[in-house]
Every structure is written in structure tokens, then in C-alpha cells.
Amino acid sequence: MLRPQAKAIDLNGKPDLKDPDLYLHEQHHEAFRRLRAEEPVYWNPEADGPGFWAVTRYDDIEAVSKNPKLFSSAKHNGGHRIFNENEIGGNDTDASMISMDPPAHAGYRRMVTPGFVPKRISNMEERIRARVTRLLDAMPKTGEAEFISAVAAALPIEVLAELFGVPESDGPKLFEWSNATVGEDDPELRVSDEYMQKCIMEMAGYAAGLWQQRLETPGDDLISMLAHSKIGGEAMNFPTYIGTFILLVVAGNETTRNSISGGLLALSENPGERQKLLDDPSLIPSAVQEIVRWVSPVLHMRRTATEDTELRGQKIRKGDKVVMWYASGNRDEAQWADPYRFDVARYAAPGVPAQIGFGVGQHFCLGSRLAELQLTILFEELLRRFPDINVSGPIRRLRSNFIYGIKEMPVSYTPEG
């Protein structure tokens, strides 16, 4: 079965956080602001499910995410999305690490961790800069471009191709499959159920081909790591490999792309902040943290209560779905005095609370350093070469309650001479 589409429900003026239109129309921040103040642990009924608890405060998100014994990610309990992953097919043997709990989770995470250690990531710096340079060299000399296809989507896909050890010419396929995987609520991306089915089959066939090839001829890439690693003496089973492949395609791609585009949008809307980066590019790493806080490209992750418990005085029953809204925690007034201000220098000061856009606890984003490196290099080069680049027309957003994305974003800039 395919990932189900979200059905909206009329809640008499209360927000339905599952409604993808809330994010499409950028109304979620107001809804979250009200909930943090009035009902920080909020029961959100569902038209097509039992309902879920929406956790909207930073501290509560941290508490839930750091307690996997009580708040499970495991596929057999429902997994990490609002819909139940165990109802759309398969079982724990085909779950990827993001839908596992300790201790199993740690073993699978260890398999791919060598691909993301700091030394390996910093070794990629030169190649990432060369890719960025090439993409920016190719920006039209007219001074007008569509930024998502020209830069924001292209860079993470090329980097992913390097991680997998596949040719860059496979990038468009990875891009299409990744869009289809997270696009269940966007009619442009989920053209039909048949199309979605076709994408899943193609992606699984492609992943299977790579597995076979790397079993025979291992390289220094993530696929070879997966094909050859052992857990308790056993190789990773094939369905888990397919799940992990799909996780990496989506996680390495949608998130970084939408941080790049959301970051440029924020800089266009806040020219004073852009000027600060132009005056002092050493602020860019701080700006990158602020961009991930501001954009929160992953809107939420879900857990399931394994016991009756309480959160901020709210009784939660065993089996209840608990959804952590990073987009809300990242604007929590209890953490930052001015969470609605986009401030590129925020993270240059000591003692500022970490943003939680990469999650918290055991599932903390494995690719965070790689994403930060791509964002840092991209904004360094982009602002150096096109200091006046600006969003020049209406943007088109992804319709999704999971990924806060931009599909199209026109920009204008003074072309290089």
C-alpha cells in the first residue's frame, strides 16, 4: 500500500496541524504560537485516524525525543510519521534506523556512521566548493533564474550521488524519487497512485542493482558500507537496506534543499541581515544555524507512547501518537526572547540555546555536519558572487505537513561581467 494522503478535519477554529494547507499558506506559525501559549500539549483529532498529541514547546520536544523507552520510533508501534508505517506494509525487518528504537537502532546507525564522521565530511569541502562554483558559473547571464532547479535542488543531489558513489547523471532520478516519496499530499508530485508505485519500484530496483554491484566490487561509499557491514555477525537484511537507501535519498536531499531556498528567502526578506553577512562573512556558520531554526525544513517527527504517562500535566495513554513539532519548538518564546526575529548573528554569541531542526537524542540527524557544510559553502560563494541576489517573484510551496518546502523560487541578481 502507498503512503496515505492526509485528510483535513474541521476543528471549530482550532488548528488541524495535519492539514497540509496550513503550511502551504504559511499559517502554521500563528497556530503554533497560540498552542504554545494555550495548549502546549494539544490533542489534534484526525479525520482518518485516532488523533495525536501535538507537542509544541522546545523543552517537551527534548523530553520526548530523549526518552525512546517511553516514546518509541519503532515501526511496529507506528514509526516516525503521523500515519502508521506498519499499516502501509512490511514489518520491523524492513524498517530503516529512523523507525527503530534502542538497542537495535544503535547497531544500524553504526553501520552508516563511518560515512559521516567529521574527518570524512571535512574532506568533502573542496569538492563541495567546486560543485557550488560550477552551479553558480552556470547561472544565466540574464540575471534571472529559477533558484530551486539551478542551485538549491542540484547541490544536495550531487553530494548524495558522491556519497553513494554513483554518477551525477543519476541525480535527476534520485530527485524525482525523493520528491515522490515525500510528496503524497502534493498533487503535482503524487500525480497518481500508479506513478507513485512506479517510482517506488524503480527506486528499489536501482538500490538492488547497486547492492549487488558493491557486494562484488566494494568501494569507499555508503552503499558499500551497507552491503558489507555486519550486525552481531549478520549482514544487513535486504529489505532493511532498501528502507535505509530510501531514508538516505529523502533525508539527504529534501532537507538541505529547503534550507538553502528558505535561507535565501529569509535573507531577501531581511536585507539588514544579508548586509551583516556581506560585511562579515565569518558570521555565515551562525547564519546557517539560524536558517535551520528559522526554516525548520522537517516540520515534525512522531513517536508512540509505550506506557501511560504525563507530559506537562497532560495524561497520555499507552499507544497514543505523540508528534513533536520542531517548527514550533524552534520559535519557542521560552527559549529565545525574540524567536520571530531572523538574526544571522544569533549563534555567534555564547550560551544561545541550540536550534532543534536536526532533532534531539538518539535519532539526531546523522547528516547534520554534511548539511551545515553545504549550507556554509553555498552562502559564502553565493553572497560573494551575487551580493544583490533577491527573490524576485512569487514562490510556490510544497503541499506537505512533513517537509516545509519550496518548489519554485524566481531570483534576480547582477550577473558577473
| Nearer to ligand HEM among residue 373 and residue 413 (C-beta) | 373
Shortest separation between residue 140's beta carbon and ligand HEM, angstroms: 27
Shortest separation between residue 253's beta carbon and ligand HEM, angstroms: 7
Shortest separation between residue 323's beta carbon and ligand HEM, angstroms: 11
* Choices 9-17, 37-45, 254-262, 377-385; region in contact with ligand HEM by CB under 6 A: 254-262
Shortest separation between residue 414's beta carbon and ligand HEM, angstroms: 28
Which residue in the block uniquely carries the three cell numbers 538549491? 152
CA–CA gap between residue 416 and residue 242 (Å, rounded): 44
Q: Which three cell numbers stand for residue 394?
A: 512569487
List binders of ligand HEM among 64-93 (CB under 6 A): 65, 73, 80
Contact 148, 261 (CB under 8 A): yes
| Nearer to ligand HEM among residue 331 and residue 413 (C-beta) | 331
Shortest separation between residue 224's beta carbon and ligand HEM, angstroms: 16
Q: Residue 414 to residues 333, 384, 388: CA-CA distances in angstroms?
A: 38, 12, 7
CA–CA gap between residue 129 and residue 311 (Å, rounded): 45
- Our finding on whether 157 is near ligand HEM (CB under 6 A) is no
Task: Give me the 369-388 binding string for ligand HEM, x by CB under 6 A, dash otherwise.
Answer: -xx-----------------
The amino acid that residue 417 corresponds to is G
- Our finding on whether 323 is near ligand HEM (CB under 6 A) is no
Contact 152, 375 (CB under 8 A): no
Q: Which three cell numbers stand for residue 4?
A: 496515505
Q: Residue 364 to residues 106, 154, 258, 357, 359: CA-CA distances in angstroms?
A: 12, 25, 18, 9, 5
Q: Which three cell numbers stand for residue 341?
A: 526575529
Sign of CA dihedral 378, 381, 386, 387: positive
Shortest separation between residue 226's beta carbon and ligand HEM, angstroms: 11
Shortest separation between residue 97's beta carbon and ligand HEM, angstroms: 4
* Choices 46-54, 198-206, 224-232, 248-256; region in contact with ligand HEM by CB under 6 A: 248-256
Shortest separation between residue 10's beta carbon and ligand HEM, angstroms: 30
Cα 392–398–399 angle (5° rounding)?
135
* Choices 191-199, 204-212, 290-298, 333-341; region in contact with ligand HEM by CB under 6 A: 290-298
Sign of CA dihedral 61, 65, 68, 74: positive
* Choices 6-14, 124-132, 202-210, 245-253; region in contact with ligand HEM by CB under 6 A: 245-253
- Our finding on whether 366 is near ligand HEM (CB under 6 A) is yes
CA–CA gap between residue 381 and residue 129 (Å, rounded): 8
Contact 273, 267 (CB under 8 A): yes
Q: How far apart are the first and last CA of the chain?
A: 53
Q: Which three cell numbers stand for residue 240?
A: 532493511
- Our finding on whether 248 is near ligand HEM (CB under 6 A) is yes
Sign of CA dihedral 11, 295, 403, 330: negative
Among 367, 397, 398, 399, binds ligand HEM (CB under 6 A): 367
Shortest separation between residue 250's beta carbon and ligand HEM, angstroms: 9
- Our finding on whether 329 is near ligand HEM (CB under 6 A) is no
83 burial (CB, 10 Å; 0-12 / 13-18 / 19+) is buried
| Nearer to ligand HEM among residue 223 and residue 370 (C-beta) | 370
Size of the site for ligand HEM (CB under 6 A): 27
Residues that bind ligand HEM (CB under 6 A): 65, 73, 80, 97-98, 109, 247-248, 251-252, 255-256, 259, 292, 297-298, 301, 326, 357-359, 363, 365-367, 370-371
